[in-house]
């Protein structure tokens, strides 16, 4: 009798592993603001935020400027196509907030983002994988 139940037990174990594996693979957090996990750049308080909608539309709020983008995500693969950096600064920026260092950081971060090739979860964070991995955390505000 034990021999007859063995194939059923093995099948049940395989099914359980598949179900657990699918539950563990959480989808990309579409529609959530993802805050760059980095030290603030003074004098401004603004931090880079990436927001990706399920249809692929995205918004990249950099240190000073904001850029629209398209993001393609398939499982753990990712491709980001961003618009060029705008010349003008946002109207909400106060005088002196966008220092030359912050403006340069906008360009550097945008270059890093368009070089991303994948993503993964690490605890509560989302890590974008590329030449320079970038770590984001869901905004809590």
pLDDT one-digit tens code per residue, 44-80: 788 999 999 999 999 999 999 999 999 999 999 999 9
Residue 33 binned pLDDT confidence (cut-offs 50, 70, 90): very high
Asked whether the predicted pLDDT for residue 20 surpasses 60, the reply is no
**Is-contact 38 128, C-beta < 8 A?**
no
pLDDT given for residue 130 in this prediction: 95
**Could you tell me the pTM of the whole model?**
0.79
Using only the alpha carbons of the chain, give its radius of gyration: 21
pLDDT given for residue 19 in this prediction: 44
Q: Which domains does the chain have, with CATH numbers?
A: 27-138 (2.40.128.270)
CB-based contacts of 65, cutoff 8 Å, min separation 6: 85, 86, 89, 90, 106
Asked whether the predicted pLDDT for residue 35 surpasses 80, the reply is yes
Q: What is the mean pLDDT of the chain?
A: 84
pLDDT given for residue 88 in this prediction: 79
Residue 138 CA, distance from chain mean position: 9
CB-based contacts of 72, cutoff 8 Å, min separation 6: 56, 78, 79
Cα–Cα distance measured from residue 87 to residue 66, given in angstroms and rounded to the nearest whole number: 11
């Amino acid at each position: 009798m034990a021999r007859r139940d063995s194939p059923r037990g093995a099948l049940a174990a395989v099914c359980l592993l598949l179900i657990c594996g699918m539950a563990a693979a959480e989808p990309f957090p579409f529609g959530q603001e993802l805050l760059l996990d980095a030290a603030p750049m003074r004098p401004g308080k603004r931090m880079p935020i990436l927001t990706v909608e399920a249809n692929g539309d995205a918004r990249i709020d950099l240190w000073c400027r904001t850029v629209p983008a398209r993001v393609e995500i398939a499982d753990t693969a990712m491709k980001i196509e961003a618009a060029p950096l705008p010349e003008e600064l946002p109207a909400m920026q106060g005088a002196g907030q966008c220092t030359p260092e912050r403006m340069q950081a906008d360009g550097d971060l945008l270059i890093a983002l368009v070089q991303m090739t994948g993503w993964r979860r690490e605890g509560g964070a989302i890590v974008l994988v590329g030449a320079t991995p970038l770590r984001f955390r869901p905004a809590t505000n």
